[in-house]
Chains A and B, each alone.
Chain A
């Protein structure tokens, strides 16, 4: 029984290690940032989960198992966030082979801002400074007419 459990753990560890190798091969061979990210995130979720399952089987003790579960949960929570941010910046900085894309919905996106693209800091200057100045002056005038001082 113990030997069978050990072999299951070994299989999980070897599968996770194999996914790490495939990530390296994909990183070297793929052509642009998005496809390299596609290869590089294979061990980030499935590989880490497999290795954590193998480790939790081998390390007999609930403390280690809970901590490995915590690592797996952190990976599942943080991998989509960082991948989303990196791929968004990669698209905007044109590190994308557009000739390899089959669907490119962001290219003809309606309602794009002319300057800001959704990543500006909260205290950024207005997008069109001249128009913003005219509008704020008009609002000032309307306030002044409503409440003459």
Chain B
């Protein structure tokens, strides 16, 4: 069953590498949050694949911790970015005080 092991780890490693590329390239904070979330899910999936293929249940409690940490991290960063939005909002409902979104800058270029 070496073949299954190699293929599974290659798929997981490719997914983690691409998530890391998105984490490095951004362009916005929320892209990085989404990439980190996906990366943690891939890490927990690869821990579970390792545990399943080796029949080794010692890493199973780590999965619970990792899945809860992913939730807490992404929710707290989302709240933090929402607080940034609130402080810079203006009277007319448009948050013109913010720096322009990275997608708008790229699409104008």
Indicate whether A68 sits within 8 Å of B63 (C-beta atoms), given known contacts A20-B15, A36-B22: yes
Instruction: Tell me the number of A-to-B contacts counted with CB atoms below 8 Å.
Output: 223
A 13-35 to B, binary, CB cutoff 8 A, 1 in contact else 0? 11011101111110110011100
Q: By the criterion CB–CB under 8 Å, are B78 and A14 in contact?
A: no
Check B8 against A17 for contact (C-beta < 8 Å).
Answer: yes
A interface secondary structure, majority = helix
Which residue in chain A gives the minimum CB-CB distance to B3?
A10
Q: What are the 3 closest A-B residue pairs judged by CB atoms, nearest first?
A: A24-B18, A24-B15, A20-B15
B-binding residues in A (CB < 8 A):
6, 9-10, 13-14, 16-18, 20-25, 27-28, 31-33, 36-37, 40-41, 43-44, 47-48, 51-52, 54-55, 57-61, 63-64, 67-68, 70-71, 74-75, 78-79, 81-82, 85-86, 88-90, 92-97, 99, 112-117, 119-121, 124
